[in-house]
Structure formats: structure tokens, C-alpha cells
Amino acid sequence: MTRRTTFLTLALAGAALALPATSGAAIVGLGDQNATTFSDPLFRALGVSKTRLITPYNTAQDPAQKAIVDQWMAAARGKQVMIAFNPKRNSRCPGSPCKAPSAKQFQSAFKAFRKAYPSVKIYQPWNESNSKTQPTSGKRGAKKVAGYYDIAKKNCRSCTVVGADIQDIGNFTGYVKDVLKNIKSKKKPKVWGFHNYTDTNRFSTKNTKRFVNTVPGKVWLTETG
């Protein structure tokens, strides 16, 4: 969801949190595509320290897009940022053009992004990758996303890389199993992203429970509402 305000429930471990190991407190962040959000008094009053941005995977190689993200990053200075990648700017997904990058293209773009924004340490290789609005849907897409995870993990060993960012639609459990099956990195994902809109709109927890029971590791609700 590229233009929707997104909420993050992040179960971050270790030094990132000043919480005891036994604490069940939820950690909440807010993601907004607009840089002006960070200067809004209402946002500042929330005391939110974690945020998320969805941006084209080739941002650092696209001067126009990079200028937008530069402004956003400057506004978000001091926040813990999660980046979720999307198709190139001017893509018309699910229409045309709508193309997933090759492994070589993604690696080149990811390295450029890391160089441009070294302070970012949390990545989602692709936003809502199982959605039919994305070029990463289906079995072929799941294999690509697994490759993107491997690339991100290889090129930023200190980063937290989310296994996949999944929307609770269609056969989402089958899709995430395909992603997991195709990951080659020895460091398997310890965290997965989930967008449980179907559950929240129906006052249900069914899909969320199914996802939690399918993936190894933690689940972050990287969009909900």
C-alpha cells in the first residue's frame, strides 16, 4: 500500500528496546510517505521513534526519487527507519509496465541504497509481495523474493531483513512457504512482516493466527488497521 498511512507493531529485541525480557509491551511505530508528518505537532506528541517508508527498489539510482527520499530521511532523522521496496517509479502495476528486478538488478540497487543511507538497518525486500498488484506474486514471484532476501542479507550482515512482507489475501500461507523453501542463505529469517487488513476489517484473528503458525520466528504487523 504505497499511499496509506501505516502502523508498525515491532517486536524488536535486544538493545533496541529498554524493556525487560519478560515484558509483553507492544512497540508501535507509524509510517507515512509524507516528510511533513514528522514536523506535525500531533505526530510529535505521540513520541513515536519507529517509522517505515515504502520506496522503489532502485531509489538510489533514480535521482528524482532519491531527492524525495533524501527529504524524507532528513525529516525522519533520529527515528528507527524500516524500508520496504516497491517497483520502479512510474510503474503501472498490475498493468504495464510492472516488472520485478533480476537478482543482478536488485543487488546493484540494494548496494546503492545502502551506500546512500547507511543508517538504515531494517529492510523488507518487497512490500506485500504476494499481492496480485505486485510483480512478485505467485510461485515465480516467491522465488524472486527469496532471492532478494538472500541478497539483502549477504550485503548487510548487520541488518534485520524481514523474510517477506505478506498481505492476508489468497493463499498467503502457501506463498510464504514457497519463499522460505527458496531462501538459500544459511541465516534464515527471524522475523516476518504481515498486513492483517482482512482480519481487522472483520474483527477476526483467524488469518493472523494462521500466519504466526506458518512462519518460524517473530511476526511484525507492518501494516494494520
Please report, rounded to a whole number, the percentage of residues in the chain having pLDDT higher than 90: 84
Of 30-34, 63-67, 100-104, 155-159, the least confident:
30-34
CB neighbour list of residue 164: distance below 8 Å, 6 or more residues apart: 124, 125, 126, 129, 130, 142, 145, 149, 175, 176, 179, 189, 192, 193
Q: In the chain, where do the E strands start and end?
A: 6-9, 28-31, 50-56, 80-86, 122-124, 160-161, 165-167, 191-195, 218-223
- pTM for this predicted structure: 0.88
Q: Are 190 and 159 in contact (CB under 8 A)?
A: no
Whether the per-residue pLDDT at 4 is higher than 70: the answer is no
- pLDDT on residue 15: 27
Return the HEC string of 52-64.
EEEEECCHHHCHH
pLDDT tens profile 182-192: 999 998 999 99
Cα 157 from Cα 187, distance rounded (Å): 9
| Residue range 85-140, pLDDT digits in tens | 999 999 999 999 999 999 999 999 999 999 999 999 999 999 999 999 999 999 99
- According to CATH, what is the number of the domain 34-223? 3.20.20.80
Higher pLDDT, 6 or 47: 47
With bands split at pLDDT 50, 70 and 90, how would you rate the model's confidence at 205?
Answer: very high
Question: In the predicted model, is pLDDT for residue 17 greater than 70?
Answer: no
Domain ranges of the chain: 34-223
Determine the pLDDT at residue 19.
32
